[in-house]
């Protein structure tokens, strides 16, 4: 950990309190060295800012009278150096921890630091797979499992993730009798919310092939998908298989089992599906959660436009 308390232009009492706080983080909180190093750097920047902001060497008395406006000024100062929202939020977390330490020892007040609003984090867009790659996974065209039944099992799971928009936990939570007859699945998702999802013929065929090859008895009320020894399948096995698939298909690190669910929604939207219908199929409680896929689809359209338009 890098510490510069001894050279930081602050009152010695602040330097001592800060050193004690950092030592406590290292030995008592179980934080990683990287996190502690970041907190050291963030509080050092804050105290350097206070020296400029107050036009005087900061003392403990100054830390007792800080206002929300002072913290906002610090965040604005950091933005001028192009610090992003995540960096600012992490920095504010470190400063709050330090101010709470001072507050507990009656050497400062954490009220304003707690009251200041953290910078809003940018929403990261889902990263769907292209249609050919998603279809190849769902059809088991790049399977690596040595046992044919395991290859069929993985292909059936990918088919359900992409063809039905299931979460990995939902697919692995299916009982063996849930796909017996009918053209739809009743899925219980997050928060106990139940939804009906159409079961495409290609998905049913993939599951039927797996069931025919599976060496274990699949009792009606037991898990449909089994591990190599017959127990419930661990999601890590599917994540590991997907990692091998990425190499075979030349896919990025963002190609995960959950990316197939993103692909389901994005490809439906691109094909003209109604956003409300996609919300129901995904089991989202709020339409605003589903609306993020409109940004993804728009980004794909823009990329296609730039690649194809002669004047782009």
Please indicate, yes or no, whether residues 19 and 64 belong to a single structural domain of this protein: yes
* Percent of the chain clearing pLDDT 90 (strictly above): 39
In a domain, 39, yes or no: yes
In a domain, 125, yes or no: no
Please indicate, yes or no, whether residues 136 and 255 belong to a single structural domain of this protein: yes
In a domain, 280, yes or no: no
Please indicate, yes or no, whether residues 26 and 94 belong to a single structural domain of this protein: yes
Please indicate, yes or no, whether residues 84 and 108 belong to a single structural domain of this protein: yes
CA–CA gap between residue 48 and residue 87 (Å, rounded): 17
Q: The domain spanning residue 38 has which CATH number?
A: 1.10.150
Please indicate, yes or no, whether residues 109 and 135 belong to a single structural domain of this protein: no
Please indicate, yes or no, whether residues 161 and 242 belong to a single structural domain of this protein: yes
CA–CA gap between residue 106 and residue 83 (Å, rounded): 31
Local confidence band at 303 (pLDDT 50, 70, 90 cut-offs): low
Q: 285-293 long-range contacts, Cβ below 8 Å, gap at least 24?
A: 285/190, 285/191, 285/193, 290/265, 292/123, 292/125, 292/126, 293/126, 293/262, 293/265, 293/266, 293/269
What pLDDT, on a 0 to 100 scale, did the predictor assign at position 307? Answer: 56
- Calculate helix-pair angle for 131-138, 148-164, nearest 10 degrees: 140
Please indicate, yes or no, whether residues 135 and 256 belong to a single structural domain of this protein: yes
Q: Tokens 């400029």, residue?
A: 52
SS (H, E, C) 276-296: HHHHHHHCCCCHHHHCHHHHH
In a domain, 4, yes or no: no
CA distances from 33 to 27, 41, 89, 92, 93 (A): 11, 12, 19, 18, 16
Would you list the DSSP string of 31-76? --HHHHHHHHHHHHHHHHHHHHHHTS---HHHHTS--HHHHHHHHH
In a domain, 304, yes or no: no
In a domain, 273, yes or no: no
Please indicate, yes or no, whether residues 242 and 164 belong to a single structural domain of this protein: yes
Please indicate, yes or no, whether residues 74 and 159 belong to a single structural domain of this protein: no
Residues identified as active-site: 167, 190, 258, 261, 284, 293
Give the structural domain span for 23: 12-115
Q: What are phi and psi of 188, to 5 degrees?
A: -105, 115
Output the furthest CA–CA distance in the chain (Å, rounded): 78
- Residues 191 and 224: beta-carbon distance below 8 Å: no
Please indicate, yes or no, whether residues 88 and 174 belong to a single structural domain of this protein: no
Q: How many domains does the chain have?
A: 2
Domain C-terminal end among 115, 147, 177: 115
Tens digit of pLDDT for each residue in 3-13?
444 467 888 99
CA–CA gap between residue 168 and residue 225 (Å, rounded): 11
Phi-psi region of 285 (alpha: psi -120 to 50; beta: other; left: phi over 0): alpha
What's the residue count for the chain? 312
CA 263 to chain centre: 16
- Residues 216 and 112: beta-carbon distance below 8 Å: no
Terminal Cα-to-Cα distance of the chain (whole angstroms): 49
- Residues 194 and 157: beta-carbon distance below 8 Å: no
What pLDDT, on a 0 to 100 scale, did the predictor assign at position 295? Answer: 66
Please indicate, yes or no, whether residues 141 and 232 belong to a single structural domain of this protein: yes
Mean pLDDT value across residues 134-149: 74
Element (DSSP H or E) covering residue 134: helix 131-138
Local confidence band at 166 (pLDDT 50, 70, 90 cut-offs): very high
The 10 Å Cβ neighbour count of residue 82 is 7
In a domain, 285, yes or no: no
In a domain, 110, yes or no: yes
Give which of 129, 113, 121, 192 is closest to 161, Cα–Cα.
129
Tens digit of pLDDT for each residue in 194-230?
898 888 888 999 999 999 999 999 998 899 999 999 9
Please indicate, yes or no, whether residues 35 and 101 belong to a single structural domain of this protein: yes
Tens digit of pLDDT for each residue in 245-285?
887 778 878 888 888 888 888 888 888 888 888 888 888 88
CA–CA gap between residue 219 and residue 224 (Å, rounded): 8
Q: The domain spanning residue 204 has which CATH number?
A: 1.10.443.10
């Amino acid at each position: 950990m890098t510490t510069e308390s001894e050279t930081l232009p602050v009152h010695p009492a602040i330097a001592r309190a800060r050193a004690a706080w950092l030592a406590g983080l290292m030995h008592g909180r179980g934080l990683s060295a990287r996190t502690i190093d970041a907190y050291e750097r963030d509080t050092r920047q804050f105290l350097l800012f206070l020296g400029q902001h107050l036009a005087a060497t900061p003392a403990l008395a100054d830390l007792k009278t800080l206002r929300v406006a002072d913290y906002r000024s610090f965040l604005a100062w950091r933005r001028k150096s192009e610090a992003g929202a995540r960096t600012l939020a992490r920095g504010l977390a470190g400063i709050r921890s330090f101010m709470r330490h001072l507050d507990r020892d009656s050497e400062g007040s954490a009220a304003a630091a707690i009251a200041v609003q953290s910078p809003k984090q940018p929403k990261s867009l889902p990263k769907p797979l292209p249609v050919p790659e998603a279809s190849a996974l769902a059809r088991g065209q790049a399977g690596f499992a040595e046992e044919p039944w395991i290859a069929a099992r993985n292909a059936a799971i990918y088919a359900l993730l992409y063809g039905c928009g299931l979460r990995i936990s939902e697919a692995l939570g299916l009982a063996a009798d849930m796909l017996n007859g009918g053209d739809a699945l009743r899925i219980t998702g997050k928060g106990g919310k139940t939804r009906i999802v159409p079961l495409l013929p290609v998905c049913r065929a993939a599951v039927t092939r797996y069931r025919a090859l599976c060496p274990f008895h699949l009792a009606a009320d037991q898990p449909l998908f089994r591990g190599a020894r017959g127990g419930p399948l661990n999601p890590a096995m599917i994540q590991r298989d997907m990692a091998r698939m990425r190499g075979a298909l030349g896919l990025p690190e963002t190609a995960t089992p959950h990316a197939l669910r993103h692909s389901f929604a994005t490809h439906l939207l691109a094909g003209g599906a109604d956003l409300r219908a996609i919300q129901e199929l995904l089991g989202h409680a709020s339409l605003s959660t589903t609306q993020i896929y409109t940004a993804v689809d728009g980004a794909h359209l823009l990329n296609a436009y730039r690649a194809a338009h002669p004047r782009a």
